[in-house]
Amino acid sequence: MIKITTPCRIHMTLIDMNAEIGRVDGGAGLTLSSPNIRITAEEADGVNIEGLQGFADRMKRAAESLLPEGKGIRINVQEVYHAHVGFGSGTQSSLAAAAAVNELYGLGKSVRELALSVKRGGTSGIGVTAFEKGGFIVDGGHRFKDKGGFMPSAASKVPPGPVLFREDFPQWDMVVAIPNDKGMYDQEEVETFKKFCPLPVEEVREISHVVLMQMMPAVIENDIVSFGAAVNHVQTVGFNKRESFIWPEFVKNIASFMRSRSYGAGVSSFGPVVYSFVDNKSDGRQLQAEVQKMLDDSVGGTVMLTRARNHGAEISRV
Protein backbone atom coordinates (compact mmCIF):
# COMPACT_ATOMS: atom_id res chain seq x y z
CA MET A 1 0.00 0.00 0.00
CA ILE A 2 1.14 3.53 -0.82
CA LYS A 3 0.62 6.42 1.59
CA ILE A 4 0.82 10.03 0.32
CA THR A 5 0.52 13.28 2.26
CA THR A 6 0.58 16.46 0.20
CA PRO A 7 1.22 20.02 1.31
CA CYS A 8 -0.87 22.97 0.20
CA ARG A 9 0.38 26.28 -1.12
CA ILE A 10 -0.44 29.96 -1.02
CA HIS A 11 0.00 31.95 -4.21
CA MET A 12 1.25 35.45 -3.48
CA THR A 13 1.39 37.08 -6.88
CA LEU A 14 1.45 36.58 -10.61
CA ILE A 15 4.34 38.50 -12.14
CA ASP A 16 3.78 39.22 -15.83
CA MET A 17 0.23 39.46 -17.16
CA ASN A 18 1.33 41.79 -19.98
CA ALA A 19 3.54 39.50 -22.11
CA GLU A 20 4.98 42.16 -24.39
CA ILE A 21 8.55 40.87 -24.00
CA GLY A 22 7.51 37.32 -24.81
CA ARG A 23 6.65 35.60 -21.54
CA VAL A 24 3.48 35.42 -19.47
CA ASP A 25 2.51 34.36 -15.94
CA GLY A 26 5.36 33.66 -13.54
CA GLY A 27 4.67 33.91 -9.87
CA ALA A 28 5.75 33.67 -6.25
CA GLY A 29 4.29 31.34 -3.65
CA LEU A 30 4.89 29.40 -0.49
CA THR A 31 4.31 25.81 0.63
CA LEU A 32 2.44 25.35 3.93
CA SER A 33 2.85 22.54 6.45
CA SER A 34 -0.93 22.32 6.86
CA PRO A 35 -3.65 21.74 5.84
CA ASN A 36 -2.95 18.57 3.85
CA ILE A 37 -4.45 16.02 1.51
CA ARG A 38 -3.76 12.49 2.74
CA ILE A 39 -4.50 9.30 0.81
CA THR A 40 -3.63 5.62 0.77
CA ALA A 41 -3.64 3.58 -2.44
CA GLU A 42 -3.40 -0.05 -3.48
CA GLU A 43 -3.79 -2.13 -6.59
CA ALA A 44 -7.39 -3.05 -7.48
CA ASP A 45 -9.71 -3.92 -10.33
CA GLY A 46 -10.88 -0.71 -11.96
CA VAL A 47 -10.52 2.75 -10.42
CA ASN A 48 -12.21 3.32 -7.06
CA ILE A 49 -12.04 6.48 -4.95
CA GLU A 50 -13.21 5.86 -1.39
CA GLY A 51 -13.37 7.86 1.83
CA LEU A 52 -13.79 11.64 1.70
CA GLN A 53 -15.25 12.54 -1.68
CA GLY A 54 -14.39 16.19 -2.31
CA PHE A 55 -11.94 15.39 -5.11
CA ALA A 56 -13.14 11.95 -6.24
CA ASP A 57 -13.81 12.88 -9.87
CA ARG A 58 -10.55 14.76 -10.22
CA MET A 59 -8.52 11.95 -8.66
CA LYS A 60 -10.24 9.37 -10.82
CA ARG A 61 -9.35 11.28 -14.00
CA ALA A 62 -5.76 11.76 -12.83
CA ALA A 63 -5.32 8.07 -12.04
CA GLU A 64 -6.88 6.97 -15.34
CA SER A 65 -4.49 9.22 -17.29
CA LEU A 66 -1.52 7.18 -16.03
CA LEU A 67 -2.70 3.64 -15.32
CA PRO A 68 -1.11 0.93 -17.46
CA GLU A 69 -3.59 -0.97 -19.61
CA GLY A 70 -5.54 -3.54 -17.62
CA LYS A 71 -4.44 -2.17 -14.23
CA GLY A 72 -6.51 -0.50 -11.53
CA ILE A 73 -6.21 1.36 -8.23
CA ARG A 74 -8.18 1.88 -5.04
CA ILE A 75 -7.59 5.27 -3.41
CA ASN A 76 -8.83 5.98 0.10
CA VAL A 77 -9.02 9.71 0.81
CA GLN A 78 -8.41 10.24 4.51
CA GLU A 79 -7.89 13.99 4.78
CA VAL A 80 -8.71 16.91 2.48
CA TYR A 81 -9.15 20.66 2.58
CA HIS A 82 -11.64 22.88 0.80
CA ALA A 83 -11.49 23.39 -2.97
CA HIS A 84 -11.45 26.81 -4.68
CA VAL A 85 -10.25 28.72 -1.63
CA GLY A 86 -6.64 29.53 -2.66
CA PHE A 87 -4.73 26.45 -1.45
CA GLY A 88 -4.15 24.84 -4.86
CA SER A 89 -6.27 21.77 -4.14
CA GLY A 90 -6.73 20.92 -7.82
CA THR A 91 -3.01 20.45 -8.37
CA GLN A 92 -2.37 18.69 -5.07
CA SER A 93 -5.25 16.20 -5.38
CA SER A 94 -4.42 15.41 -9.02
CA LEU A 95 -0.73 14.92 -8.30
CA ALA A 96 -1.50 12.78 -5.24
CA ALA A 97 -3.53 10.36 -7.37
CA ALA A 98 -0.98 10.42 -10.18
CA ALA A 99 1.91 9.83 -7.76
CA ALA A 100 0.03 6.86 -6.28
CA VAL A 101 -0.19 5.22 -9.71
CA ASN A 102 3.43 6.11 -10.40
CA GLU A 103 4.62 4.42 -7.18
CA LEU A 104 2.33 1.38 -7.32
CA TYR A 105 3.30 0.46 -10.85
CA GLY A 106 6.90 1.68 -10.92
CA LEU A 107 6.40 4.09 -13.82
CA GLY A 108 9.44 6.17 -12.88
CA LYS A 109 7.93 9.50 -13.88
CA SER A 110 9.09 12.81 -12.40
CA VAL A 111 6.67 15.16 -10.67
CA ARG A 112 6.77 17.50 -13.67
CA GLU A 113 5.95 14.61 -15.99
CA LEU A 114 3.02 13.72 -13.74
CA ALA A 115 1.85 17.34 -13.83
CA LEU A 116 1.89 17.30 -17.62
CA SER A 117 -0.11 14.06 -17.67
CA VAL A 118 -2.81 15.46 -15.39
CA LYS A 119 -2.74 18.92 -17.05
CA ARG A 120 -1.73 21.00 -14.04
CA GLY A 121 0.66 23.96 -13.79
CA GLY A 122 -0.43 25.65 -17.02
CA THR A 123 -0.39 29.11 -15.45
CA SER A 124 1.41 28.79 -12.11
CA GLY A 125 4.17 26.30 -11.40
CA ILE A 126 4.04 26.99 -7.66
CA GLY A 127 1.74 24.08 -6.77
CA VAL A 128 3.74 21.54 -8.78
CA THR A 129 7.01 22.58 -7.15
CA ALA A 130 5.32 22.66 -3.73
CA PHE A 131 4.38 18.99 -4.25
CA GLU A 132 7.89 18.18 -5.45
CA LYS A 133 10.15 20.20 -3.13
CA GLY A 134 8.20 22.56 -0.85
CA GLY A 135 9.63 25.89 0.31
CA PHE A 136 9.36 29.37 -1.17
CA ILE A 137 9.14 29.31 -4.96
CA VAL A 138 9.38 31.76 -7.85
CA ASP A 139 8.61 30.42 -11.32
CA GLY A 140 9.32 31.95 -14.72
CA GLY A 141 6.01 31.48 -16.49
CA HIS A 142 5.65 30.49 -20.13
CA ARG A 143 6.56 31.67 -23.58
CA PHE A 144 3.53 33.57 -24.75
CA LYS A 145 3.71 31.95 -28.19
CA ASP A 146 3.38 28.54 -26.50
CA LYS A 147 0.49 29.46 -24.23
CA GLY A 148 -1.27 31.74 -26.68
CA GLY A 149 -3.27 33.83 -24.21
CA PHE A 150 -4.06 34.87 -20.65
CA MET A 151 -5.83 32.09 -18.79
CA PRO A 152 -5.87 30.17 -15.48
CA SER A 153 -4.12 26.83 -14.99
CA ALA A 154 -7.34 24.84 -15.32
CA ALA A 155 -7.83 26.20 -18.85
CA SER A 156 -4.20 25.95 -19.98
CA LYS A 157 -2.45 22.91 -21.46
CA VAL A 158 1.18 24.05 -21.38
CA PRO A 159 3.66 22.42 -18.96
CA PRO A 160 4.60 24.12 -15.67
CA GLY A 161 7.03 27.01 -16.09
CA PRO A 162 10.69 26.78 -15.05
CA VAL A 163 11.57 27.26 -11.39
CA LEU A 164 13.76 30.35 -11.08
CA PHE A 165 14.18 30.30 -7.32
CA ARG A 166 13.42 27.76 -4.59
CA GLU A 167 14.60 28.37 -1.05
CA ASP A 168 13.83 26.99 2.40
CA PHE A 169 11.47 29.47 4.07
CA PRO A 170 12.11 30.77 7.60
CA GLN A 171 10.00 29.16 10.31
CA TRP A 172 7.90 32.22 10.96
CA ASP A 173 4.47 31.62 12.40
CA MET A 174 1.60 32.25 10.03
CA VAL A 175 -2.04 33.01 10.75
CA VAL A 176 -4.25 31.70 7.94
CA ALA A 177 -7.97 32.46 7.72
CA ILE A 178 -10.13 29.99 5.76
CA PRO A 179 -13.63 31.48 5.33
CA ASN A 180 -16.65 29.31 4.54
CA ASP A 181 -16.80 30.59 0.98
CA LYS A 182 -15.23 29.92 -2.40
CA GLY A 183 -13.16 32.04 -4.75
CA MET A 184 -13.74 32.22 -8.47
CA TYR A 185 -13.18 29.09 -10.55
CA ASP A 186 -14.00 27.48 -13.90
CA GLN A 187 -15.59 29.85 -16.43
CA GLU A 188 -15.79 32.77 -14.00
CA GLU A 189 -12.03 32.55 -13.51
CA VAL A 190 -11.45 32.41 -17.27
CA GLU A 191 -13.61 35.50 -17.79
CA THR A 192 -11.69 37.42 -15.12
CA PHE A 193 -8.40 36.83 -16.95
CA LYS A 194 -10.03 38.00 -20.19
CA LYS A 195 -11.44 41.10 -18.52
CA PHE A 196 -8.25 42.39 -16.92
CA CYS A 197 -5.39 41.22 -19.17
CA PRO A 198 -3.08 42.41 -20.55
CA LEU A 199 -2.04 44.60 -17.62
CA PRO A 200 0.18 47.69 -17.99
CA VAL A 201 3.84 46.79 -18.37
CA GLU A 202 4.77 49.39 -15.75
CA GLU A 203 2.97 47.30 -13.14
CA VAL A 204 4.81 44.16 -14.28
CA ARG A 205 8.09 45.98 -13.76
CA GLU A 206 6.99 47.08 -10.30
CA ILE A 207 6.06 43.53 -9.25
CA SER A 208 9.29 42.13 -10.71
CA HIS A 209 11.33 44.68 -8.75
CA VAL A 210 9.58 43.81 -5.47
CA VAL A 211 9.89 40.05 -5.98
CA LEU A 212 13.54 40.15 -7.09
CA MET A 213 14.94 42.83 -4.81
CA GLN A 214 12.78 42.58 -1.71
CA MET A 215 10.89 39.31 -1.40
CA MET A 216 13.65 36.90 -2.48
CA PRO A 217 16.48 38.51 -0.46
CA ALA A 218 14.22 38.68 2.60
CA VAL A 219 13.78 34.91 2.49
CA ILE A 220 17.53 34.32 2.28
CA GLU A 221 18.31 36.87 5.01
CA ASN A 222 15.47 35.81 7.34
CA ASP A 223 14.09 39.37 7.25
CA ILE A 224 10.41 39.22 8.20
CA VAL A 225 10.01 43.01 8.06
CA SER A 226 11.10 43.27 4.43
CA PHE A 227 9.23 40.13 3.43
CA GLY A 228 6.01 41.37 5.00
CA ALA A 229 6.40 44.73 3.27
CA ALA A 230 6.82 42.93 -0.06
CA VAL A 231 3.69 40.85 0.53
CA ASN A 232 1.73 44.01 1.32
CA HIS A 233 3.11 45.76 -1.76
CA VAL A 234 2.16 43.09 -4.28
CA GLN A 235 -1.44 43.18 -3.06
CA THR A 236 -1.74 46.72 -4.45
CA VAL A 237 -0.53 46.23 -8.02
CA GLY A 238 -0.97 43.93 -11.00
CA PHE A 239 -3.43 41.04 -11.04
CA ASN A 240 -3.81 41.09 -7.24
CA LYS A 241 -5.06 44.67 -7.45
CA ARG A 242 -7.70 43.65 -10.02
CA GLU A 243 -8.77 40.68 -7.92
CA SER A 244 -9.30 43.01 -4.97
CA PHE A 245 -12.04 44.79 -6.95
CA ILE A 246 -14.18 41.66 -6.79
CA TRP A 247 -13.36 40.29 -3.34
CA PRO A 248 -16.34 40.05 -0.98
CA GLU A 249 -16.41 42.73 1.68
CA PHE A 250 -15.59 40.26 4.47
CA VAL A 251 -12.36 39.25 2.67
CA LYS A 252 -11.33 42.90 2.38
CA ASN A 253 -12.07 43.48 6.06
CA ILE A 254 -10.15 40.43 7.24
CA ALA A 255 -7.15 41.18 5.00
CA SER A 256 -7.02 44.78 6.20
CA PHE A 257 -7.26 43.76 9.86
CA MET A 258 -4.63 41.03 9.55
CA ARG A 259 -2.31 43.45 7.76
CA SER A 260 -2.64 45.93 10.63
CA ARG A 261 -1.70 43.26 13.19
CA SER A 262 1.13 41.44 11.40
CA TYR A 263 4.23 42.05 9.30
CA GLY A 264 2.31 41.44 6.09
CA ALA A 265 -0.90 39.87 4.84
CA GLY A 266 -2.34 38.85 1.50
CA VAL A 267 -5.10 36.92 -0.23
CA SER A 268 -3.96 33.66 -1.82
CA SER A 269 -4.76 33.27 -5.51
CA PHE A 270 -8.47 34.11 -6.04
CA GLY A 271 -9.12 33.68 -2.31
CA PRO A 272 -10.90 33.73 0.01
CA VAL A 273 -7.96 32.41 2.10
CA VAL A 274 -6.07 35.25 3.80
CA TYR A 275 -2.56 34.65 5.17
CA SER A 276 -0.30 36.73 7.41
CA PHE A 277 3.14 36.54 9.04
CA VAL A 278 4.03 37.04 12.71
CA ASP A 279 7.27 36.35 14.55
CA ASN A 280 6.01 34.65 17.70
CA LYS A 281 3.25 32.24 18.65
CA SER A 282 1.79 34.51 21.31
CA ASP A 283 0.99 37.24 18.78
CA GLY A 284 -0.15 34.56 16.37
CA ARG A 285 -2.63 33.05 18.82
CA GLN A 286 -4.02 36.47 19.68
CA LEU A 287 -4.51 37.34 16.02
CA GLN A 288 -5.96 33.88 15.38
CA ALA A 289 -8.61 34.43 18.07
CA GLU A 290 -9.51 37.89 16.84
CA VAL A 291 -9.87 36.84 13.20
CA GLN A 292 -11.87 33.77 14.25
CA LYS A 293 -14.37 36.11 15.88
CA MET A 294 -14.58 38.13 12.65
CA LEU A 295 -15.34 34.95 10.73
CA ASP A 296 -17.86 33.78 13.31
CA ASP A 297 -19.64 37.12 12.96
CA SER A 298 -19.72 36.96 9.16
CA VAL A 299 -19.54 33.83 6.96
CA GLY A 300 -17.98 31.34 9.38
CA GLY A 301 -14.81 29.40 8.82
CA THR A 302 -11.56 28.44 10.50
CA VAL A 303 -8.39 30.30 11.43
CA MET A 304 -5.25 28.26 11.84
CA LEU A 305 -1.71 28.82 13.05
CA THR A 306 0.81 27.15 10.75
CA ARG A 307 4.29 27.46 9.26
CA ALA A 308 6.01 26.90 5.95
CA ARG A 309 6.89 23.40 4.76
CA ASN A 310 10.35 23.01 3.26
CA HIS A 311 9.87 19.60 1.68
CA GLY A 312 7.39 18.23 -0.78
CA ALA A 313 4.81 15.47 -0.58
CA GLU A 314 5.57 12.51 1.67
CA ILE A 315 5.29 9.23 -0.25
CA SER A 316 5.89 5.89 1.45
CA ARG A 317 4.99 2.21 1.35
CA VAL A 318 3.17 0.88 4.40
Which pLDDT value is given to residue 189? 86
pLDDT (0 to 100) of residue 274 = 98
The pLDDT tens digits of the residues spanning 250-308 come to 999 999 999 999 999 999 999 999 999 999 999 999 999 999 999 999 999 999 999 99
Q: What are phi and psi for residue 163, nearest 5 degrees? A: -85, 120
In terms of Cα–Cα distance, which of 217, 272, 200 is closest to 243? 272
Q: pLDDT class for 70, splitting at 50, 70, 90?
A: very high
Q: Which residues contact 57 (CB under 8 A, 6 or more apart)?
A: none
Computed from CA positions of residues 104, 110, 111, 112, in that sequence, does the dihedral angle turn out positive or negative?
Answer: negative
Given the DSSP bridges, would you call strands 47-51 and 73-79 parallel, antiparallel or unpaired?
Answer: parallel
Rounded to two decimals, what is the model's pTM? 0.95
